Amino acid sequence: MKTINKATIIYNLIQIIFIILFISISTALFGPQEQLTAVAAVTGLLMFYYVPLPINPKAGSLLVSLPWPIVGLISYLASLNSWIGLVLNFTTLFVLTLLMGKPFHFKYYIAYTLLYIFSATSIESNFNLSKRLIYLSLVGIISFITYFVKHHQTQNDTPLKTMVTEALNDTALIHFSIKMSLGISLVLLIASLNFFDKSMWICMTVMSLTQLDSSVMKKRMLHRTFGTLIGIICYLILFQFIVPTHYAIYLTLILGYVYTFTEAYFIQVIFITMNALFAAQTIWPTSGAVIHRISFILIGACLVAILHFISHSLLKVSEKKTI
């Protein structure tokens, strides 16, 4: 749990109000199709406002701004053909996670991976590509201005080339990027072949569980599984038995605010699960949402475990050949 004092209470309140306003304004101006992409956008804006890239400010400003419309366009093109989409999805995600992967603990790649997942899974029959590209181009411009204004005085002359070279020489990061990109791309492929719908939850699980350190990955799998189960129980108690339906939205806002004080992954999963089940009410009845949530989490976890096993086995074979 983060430190709770007067400053953090006010700061977190301002932050969540900003997030809600940003998403609401984005949706009002560009329609419901951009609601999820707005979530990714505000995540990126806040992340890069506080944590600059390890390169010079001008290069950093360009790097944080360019991917937004590019991801929007590529994710749409990938949806036109399942097999070409597999290549486009994997390549784009691999480049993004590799390029934004150092230093790993900052997880710079998160905002763009979220954007890719949300963009790829929110293309409906009445989808408007022009609106998406205009919106994401606007997000890119806002990102550029925000980043440059905040970090232009940062004393860092490191060129983008150095960042790229370091990423290409990091074997562990390359393996991570391959597993992350392949996992999400396979989920999107299977979904595009109509084996299941609403693949977003599985993609999010793959993104969350794929880690650089295998011990962290295993711990997260346990926390994700049991956190989801506890989150479901909490959701059923709060939303089905205690809080009247017409007050549910206010409870969701309160839970979202409390979430900003949490740091432990296990606790975060509980809050995320309750939020996801509430949002899923427009798609499935409660029982259906619970079943889908559990099954999609398990599918995502199994896929991550399989990819990790294959990667680990291939690495061992490679090491034996080298010896």
pLDDT of residue 7: 87
**Spatial separation of the C-alpha atoms in residues 281 and 111, rounded to whole Å:** 25
pLDDT of residue 282: 76
- What are the distances in angstroms from CA 104 to CA 208, 214, 250? 14, 14, 36
pLDDT of residue 194: 77
Residue 177 located in a structural domain: no
Cβ count near 94 (within 10 Å): 17
Q: Are residues 208 and 75 in the same domain?
A: no
Q: Are residues 26 and 166 in the same domain?
A: yes
Q: For the chain (length 323 residues), average pLDDT per consecutive 10?
A: 81 92 95 93 94 93 96 95 95 95 90 95 87 97 96 89 92 93 96 80 94 92 95 94 87 90 93 91 86 93 93 75 61
pLDDT of residue 323: 57
Q: Are residues 230 and 160 in the same domain?
A: no
**Spatial separation of the C-alpha atoms in residues 216 and 197, rounded to whole Å:** 29
pLDDT of residue 317: 72
Asked whether 116 and 132 are in contact (CB, 8 A), the reply is no
**Spatial separation of the C-alpha atoms in residues 162 and 184, rounded to whole Å:** 28
Q: Are residues 27 and 86 in the same domain?
A: yes
Residue 202 located in a structural domain: yes
User: Can you spell out the DSSP letters for 84-97?
Assistant: HHHHHHHHHHHHHH
Burial 81-93 (b: 16+ CB within 10 A, else e): eeeebbebbbebb
Residue 182 located in a structural domain: no
pLDDT of residue 155: 85
Q: Are residues 323 and 200 in the same domain?
A: yes
pLDDT of residue 286: 87
Domain that holds residue 235: 196-323
Q: Are residues 159 and 85 in the same domain?
A: yes
Q: Are residues 224 and 318 in the same domain?
A: yes
Residue 190 located in a structural domain: no
pLDDT of residue 119: 94
pLDDT of residue 269: 95
Residue 258 located in a structural domain: yes
pLDDT of residue 193: 87
Q: Are residues 70 and 210 in the same domain?
A: no
Q: Domain tally for the chain?
A: 2
Residue 73 located in a structural domain: yes
